Amino acid sequence: MEREQDGRLPMLDVMLIKNQDRTITTDVYRKETHTDHYLQWSSNHPVQQKLGIVKTLMHRADTLIQDRTLREVEKGKVRTHSVTAAIQTGPLEKVTPEKHSRGTTRTHNVETGDKHPPALLYSLTLKGLQKD
């Protein structure tokens, strides 16, 4: 069982942060033993599986983190680790959001107050993976 330390309480993938004004902010939680290693782009896994990892991590940042600054920091971490894993076959050029065609998510969008915002996925452009 996790205990609160310095106003922070980890729970599953979420870090609950108690602010001075007695509000709660959320962030992504990683255990101390987390290595930030995911699939190498040079592995024999299908490309869609590799891209799915990055899409999932970006979606997690969008849905779990309320604070815009913390969200951008988390997305920067995902981009950094994606580029590090992609060095052998080609760098990750960009990550751009696109609306998911299947509808909406059931999460609450804090900024707009919308309870059913469109889900976001991320298109990834990788150099060197397509043969001409």
Instruction: Look at residue 115 and tell me if it is in a domain.
Output: yes
Residue 28's Cβ-side half-sphere holds a number of Cα atoms within 13 Å equal to 22
Provide the pLDDT for residue 41. 76
* pLDDT band per the 50, 70, 90 thresholds, residue 91: very low
Instruction: Look at residue 35 and tell me if it is in a domain.
Output: no
- Count of domains for the chain: 1
Instruction: Look at residue 12 and tell me if it is in a domain.
Output: no
Instruction: Look at residue 31 and tell me if it is in a domain.
Output: no
Provide the pLDDT for residue 84. 66
Parent domain of 90: 40-126
* pLDDT band per the 50, 70, 90 thresholds, residue 85: low
C-alpha distances out from residue 42 to 83, 88, 89, Å: 12, 7, 6
Residue 105 has pLDDT above 50, yes or no: no
Instruction: Look at residue 23 and tell me if it is in a domain.
Output: no
Nearest Cα neighbor of 118 from 69, 73, 51, 63 is: 63
Q: Residues 44, 89: contact at Cβ < 8 Å? A: no
pTM exceeds 0.85, yes or no = no
Higher pLDDT, 117 or 81: 81
